[in-house]
């Protein structure tokens, strides 16, 4: 049996300068808690679309943008920072809370018995 993780596999959000413009890239990490990004994709994708619009990021600057992965290019530094903050505020707690929920669920006695672990 695989040893349980001690911390959540949080999405990676990167901001970097490319010439005179800025880019934001994000990607999930493969882990059980990351499945929540797929399960809640409609809500999360809608939030990301709204954040892009609110920040004033034109659709042609978006290569892809979903709860699991995204790439937005040709941004100002201010737009890049605002997008990173919005993504972090959205994605990090969702994955962290799912990790916590899964960890608590795994410690329930009836779950351990089904998995074949006996005290």
Output the domain CATH number for residue 97.
Answer: 3.30.70
Query: Is residue 4 one of the residues assigned to a domain?
Result: no
Q: Which domain holds residue 27?
A: 12-114
Query: Is residue 7 one of the residues assigned to a domain?
Result: no
Query: Is residue 38 one of the residues assigned to a domain?
Result: yes
Query: Is residue 16 one of the residues assigned to a domain?
Result: yes
Q: How far apart are CA 115 and CA 117, in angstroms?
A: 6
**Count of domains observed in the chain:** 1
Query: Using an 8 Å Cβ cutoff, are 67 and 48 in contact?
Result: yes
Query: Is residue 24 one of the residues assigned to a domain?
Result: yes
Query: Using an 8 Å Cβ cutoff, are 2 and 46 in contact?
Result: no
What's the whole-number mean pLDDT along residues 29-40?
96
Q: Grade residue 68 by pLDDT with cuts at 50, 70 and 90.
A: very high
Q: Grade residue 1 by pLDDT with cuts at 50, 70 and 90.
A: very low
pTM of the model: 0.85
- pLDDT above 70 covers what percent of the chain? 87
Q: Grade residue 51 by pLDDT with cuts at 50, 70 and 90.
A: very high
Q: How far apart are CA 59 and CA 49, in angstroms?
A: 9
Angstrom CA distances, 66 to 23, 88, 98, 105, 106, stand at: 16, 13, 18, 28, 29
Query: Is residue 119 one of the residues assigned to a domain?
Result: no
């Amino acid at each position: 049996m695989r040893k349980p993780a001690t911390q959540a596999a949080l999405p990676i959000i990167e901001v970097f300068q490319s010439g005179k413009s800025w880019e934001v890239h994000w990607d999930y990490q493969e882990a059980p808690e990351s499945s929540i990004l797929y399960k809640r994709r409609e809500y999360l994708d809608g939030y990301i679309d709204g954040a892009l619009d609110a920040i004033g990021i034109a659709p042609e600057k978006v290569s892809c943008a979903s709860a699991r992965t995204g790439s937005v290019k040709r941004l100002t530094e201010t737009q890049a920072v605002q997008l990173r903050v919005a993504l972090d505020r959205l994605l990090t707690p969702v994955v962290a809370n799912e990790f916590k929920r899964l960890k608590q669920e795994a410690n329930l006695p009836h779950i351990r018995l089904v998995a074949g672990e006996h005290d």
